[in-house]
Structure 1
């Protein structure tokens, strides 16, 4: 039986925007592995905190983060995120489950957040509704949504009538720009 092999041949990349071509480095398996590792294990010190506005920017994901809300039921938390005007921006929203997971530092606990993120709560709502809630067509407070536990970074779900904090987010730029 033959063992499958991966053969990487020359690739051609065309750059259509102004860019310093001299800054390009050859693409190798090691450089791809380094990029994947940097994405899966990002530097928890990468965040940029604007102390004037209170906004925290993540250059890896292109997301901006605001301060946590008070404890609210899910619908009220969505509204509080949308009503956020931090930094003069008006497009704040509640983060998805995956977006919220990008700020966790799992080498820490109680809370598992980088020090730049102050937190008053143990749990943060996400905008991600559970598949079973959607499938069953739940409405109102019977809907269930994912939340992230900040003590250990665990993800769970609860009814929309429960009260957790939320952390508004907005897209500042494309990821890694």
Structure 2
């Protein structure tokens, strides 16, 4: 497929959300997107979003207010109120979504800094409260977090301060229109 000037255009996928993804430009199967939803080259370092076309998971990169450690309730409120890259439906990840950013080939942090340049070694809150603390109140509650230091999942008291990475769900590639193939 060529553009109007006759230049070859790589095959693309357009999601129901309007994202145009070029499979040939994915980095480790993930798309780096600008804050205005443009799919950037795999070697880009100026991206604001990491999008997984298989699952539809979209992760924020350098979201304002998330460069500090927060209590889990504060992190959840901040994520819920976040308006970033044109989206307003951000939240803390569940445990599997949180583990998505872990890369076991990397060490301290166990995250690929090409994808997550703002990643620091330490814990990142999830939105999942531990089952044994569901009937508790205040700091007696505990929440799961993902350790980007070790690449593990653990839990911490509601009075711990950890980092957070907001996520949202976009349409997965299975619901996309493939163009140019």
Q: Under a length normalisation based on structure 1, what TM-score does the superposition of the two structures give?
A: 0.69
2:78 corresponds to = 80
Distance in 2 between residues matched to 1:144 and 1:92, nearest whole Å: 21
Aligned pairs for 1:17-166 within 5 A: 45-53=28-36, 54-67=48-61, 69=66, 70-114=68-112, 115-118=114-117, 119-134=119-134, 137-166=135-164
Query: Contact 1:47–1:57 at 8 Å: present in 2 too?
Result: yes
- Please identify the structure whose Cα radius of gyration is greater: 1
Q: Which has the higher strand share?
A: 2
Distance 1:71 1:88, change over 3 A: same
Q: SS at the partner of 2:58?
A: strand
**Runs of 4+ deviating beyond 4 Å:** none
Q: Give the aligned length.
A: 133
C-alpha separation in 2, matches of 1:66 and 1:146: 19
Tell me if structure 2 keeps the 8 A contact 1:146–1:157. Answer: yes
Unaligned segments of structure 2, at least 5 residues:
1-25, 37-47, 176-181
- For 2:106 and 2:100, how far apart are their aligned partners in 1? 14
